[in-house]
Structure 1
Amino acid sequence: MITLEMLQKKSHKEFTEILGDTFEHSPWIPEQASASRPFSSLLSLHQCMVDIVNHAPKEMQMDLIRKHPNLGDKVEMTADSTKEQRGAGLKDLTVLEYENFLTLNKRYENKFGFPFILAVRGKDKHDIYEAMESRIHHTEETEFETALAEIYQIALFRLQEKIKS
């Protein structure tokens, strides 16, 4: 774990490497955030990164969303995603639960064109499945905005794990 003060002193390259996986497979976000140093707090760093995504073209935002793995899927994913899904019980699904998640993930992705995203910390597999069942009835615009909001929450959790306040 690194302090915010130590992070501020890192080179542009080191800063980007340390925070490169805060947003799933998207080091361009901390790379741009590096230029805005110093940050007064972890929350100001997070807000800077959120602003970068919010001001990015919609295609880049969609690319960020699509880089997230399907919840409950048995595919290779980043260490952070694996840890987060394991914590929610998604790595220990029964065969039937796994099939249900696959089916609902497929329905969701067919409807919206991107994976279902939820900040799973503090949630279990039942909470996640219920959220999927509920959100599949949203509009594409609502789900796009919801996916970004969930990504921002995931990024905050990851920053809190990496940076000592």
Structure 2
Amino acid sequence: MITDLQMDISAVNNMTYEEFMSKFGNVVERCSLCAAAVWDERPYEDVVHFSQSIAKIIDDLPVSAKKGLLRHIPDLAGRMAQSGGLSKESTYEQKSAGLLNMSDEERMKINSLNEKYKRKFGFPFVICARKNKKDTILEALEKRLKNCCEQEINTVYEMDISAVNSMSYEEFISKFGNVVEHCSLCAAAVWREHPFNDVAQLSRHIAKFIDDLPLSGKEGILRLHPDLAGRIAQSGGLTKESTNEQKSAGLNDMTDDERMKMNRMNEQYKQKFGFPFVICARQNKKAAILEGLERRLNNSAEQEAITGANEVKKICDLRLRDIVDPTSSKL
């Protein structure tokens, strides 16, 4: 909404606090605190600087506060929309997506999904209505119901690529240092390539860095990954990213027989290749992972280093898209 600002940035910088709050108090729905918190950041260089100041305030909030912000957002096509109780901003946004012109069947479906979502996560479903239409919103709502709570928080608060491009090196490494498990070198290596056009370009730069590594480097990256459903997972020692990924594949909910089979094959794999088995858990379920592990035990070490590195790239791409809005572009 800030990027739609029609007035000159100098006019914003010259506003009194009261004028500023009157104009920008609802850029984050029903949370004037966000505007109040960036008042001291003036003067802004431009609207991007202004927007990034608010984005940083939100990024720095604890998870509980981020959930609180989400609870201020009205349901899409919900009772408030039907009764005309939305803010003028939300009215415009929901109208632009066609949410105020739904059939009875569509409205029943979105209301049912909204309730399921709130019961699961404790806050309403949020998506940028101005970048979507009702069909894609319904599709996204169904899809995101499969996320865990942390994944959903990450999805809602994805940053814009312009915010990535404005990061200092230290901020960049802090944010992206684990998109390749325990290997901040991958993020450090692509820092010099910014500004990035979008998250896809950022992902391609990291993928190229991995591709260009010698075989020993690829093997090194694989050795930084934990065993799937292994001792680290059982003891709660995984990174938050790996925890969510293994959970999404059902690896935290294995029978004793499945776990014994997985552990046995993991050991066979490491003894043969010298690094752990890596597969993109978010694109597979436990049965497919067990099958893949058994099948890939027949490969050569070179084949597995390359296959494993390709899986790392898939994992990295998904982690990047958890952080950066894939629809945002600097162009």
Corresponding residue of 1:46:
203
User: RCO higher in 1 or 2 (8 Å CA, sep ≥ 6)?
Assistant: 1
Selected match of 1:113 from 265, 274, 286: 274
Q: Does 1:3 align with 2:160?
A: yes
Counterpart amino acid of 2:189? Q
Question: Which string of whole-angstrom CA distances, capped at 9 and with x for unpartnered residues, describes residues 49-80 of structure 1?
Answer: 11122223443322211010111113122110
Are the equivalent residues in 1 in contact too, given 2:218–2:305 (CA < 8 A)?
no
Corresponding residue of 1:153:
314
**Consecutive unaligned residues in structure 2, runs of 5 or more:** 1-157, 327-331
Corresponding residue of 1:103:
264
Corresponding residue of 2:175:
18
Gap change, CA 1:128 and 1:95, over 3 Å in 2: same
Identity of aligned residues (%): 28
Q: Following the alignment from structure 1 to structure 2, what is the Cα–Cα distance between the partners of residues 6 and 151? A: 25
Q: Does 1:80 align with 2:241?
A: yes
Q: Following the alignment from structure 1 to structure 2, what is the Cα–Cα distance between the partners of residues 57 and 122? A: 26
- Is the deviation greater in 87-96 or in 51-60? 51-60
Question: Which string of whole-angstrom CA distances, capped at 9 and with x for unpartnered residues, describes residues 27-57 of structure 1?
Answer: 1111121111111121111111111222234
Over alpha carbons, which structure has the higher Rg? 2
Question: What's the TM-score, normalizing by structure 2?
Answer: 0.49
Q: CA RMSD in A?
A: 1.2
Q: Does 1:60 align with 2:221?
A: no
Selected match of 2:227 from 57, 61, 70: 70
**Consecutive unaligned residues in structure 1, runs of 5 or more:** none
User: How many residues get paired?
Assistant: 165
